[in-house]
């Protein structure tokens, strides 16, 4: 019995390693196919779309057709959202450089305020592409929804950020991981956290609606 259970755990683990490696390879190849400039954001949307279906529908989905369909349908939207999201990053970079060159308490205050805003920005960006593949809404609504998802689950933010940091460190130490797990592992954790938070938010909304009716 123990051998069968161990064999089942090993088989499941191997399947997930294979799945995550496969979708990560697609993410890298499609990003490079678009020379990163036009390919990175659609490929990221495709990766999150696949992971979302694994978590909500069927682990045995056809990965390549699902990935490609999302890349095609979200090509313009994902690039627009991705490049809009890069603008504040550049602004924060310039601000930090400028504030760091200042002296005295004013420098500390401005860096603290900018750092707090930057944290909110990071939280929003973490959940931006999960929101993109989960909802259909106006362009700027994705940013608002991504922020709500992050704000609705501090624990999810911690898990998601930790997955990104740990994966980045491991990739820095073992560069081969970039091709197989650098994107898919964080995407899985972030998407899992997103869906969990959305369920909690929806349950609270339904509970609030029931209380209002009564």
Q: What angle do CA 67, 17, 5 make, to 5 degrees?
A: 130
The pairs formed by 33-37 with CB atoms below 8 angstroms and a separation of 24 or more are none
CA–CA dist 117, 119 (Å, integer): 5
Question: Model confidence over 68-79: pLDDT tens digits?
Answer: 999 999 999 999
CB 183 within 8 A of CB 28: yes
Encode 26-49: b = buried (16+ Cβ within 10 Å), e = exposed.
Answer: bbbebbeebeeeebbbbbbbbbbb
Q: What is the pLDDT of residue 143?
A: 97
The number of folded domains in the chain is 1
The H helix count followed by the E strand count for the chain is 10, 0
Tell me which residue range forms the domain holding 141: 2-213
Residue 175 or 84, more confident: 84
Give the count of alpha carbons within 13 A of 99, CB side only.
17
pTM of the model: 0.92
User: Other C-beta atoms within 10 Å of 10: how many?
Assistant: 10
Question: Model confidence over 47-100: pLDDT tens digits?
Answer: 999 999 999 987 789 999 999 999 999 999 999 999 999 999 999 999 999 999
């Amino acid at each position: 019995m123990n051998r069968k259970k161990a064999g089942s755990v090993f088989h499941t683990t191997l399947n997930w390693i294979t799945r995550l490696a496969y979708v990560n390879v697609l993410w890298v190849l499609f990003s490079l196919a678009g020379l990163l400039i036009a390919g990175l954001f659609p490929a990221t949307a495709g990766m999150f779309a696949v992971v979302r279906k694994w978590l909500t529908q069927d682990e045995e989905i056809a990965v390549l057709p699902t990935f490609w369909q999302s890349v095609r349908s979200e090509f313009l939207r994902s690039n627009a959202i991705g490049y809009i999201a890069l603008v504040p990053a550049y602004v924060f970079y310039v601000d930090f450089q400028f504030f760091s060159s200042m002296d005295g308490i004013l420098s500390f205050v401005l860096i603290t305020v900018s750092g707090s805003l930057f944290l909110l920005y990071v939280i929003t960006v973490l959940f931006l592409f999960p929101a993109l593949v989960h909802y259909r809404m106006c362009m700027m609504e994705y940013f608002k929804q991504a922020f709500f998802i992050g704000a609705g689950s501090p624990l999810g933010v911690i898990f998601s950020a930790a997955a990104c940091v740990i994966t980045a460190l491991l990739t820095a130490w073992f560069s081969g991981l970039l091709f197989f797990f650098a994107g898919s592992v964080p995407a899985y954790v972030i998407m899992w956290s997103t869906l969990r938070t959305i369920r909690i938010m929806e349950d609270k909304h339904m509970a609030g609606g029931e209380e209002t009716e009564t």
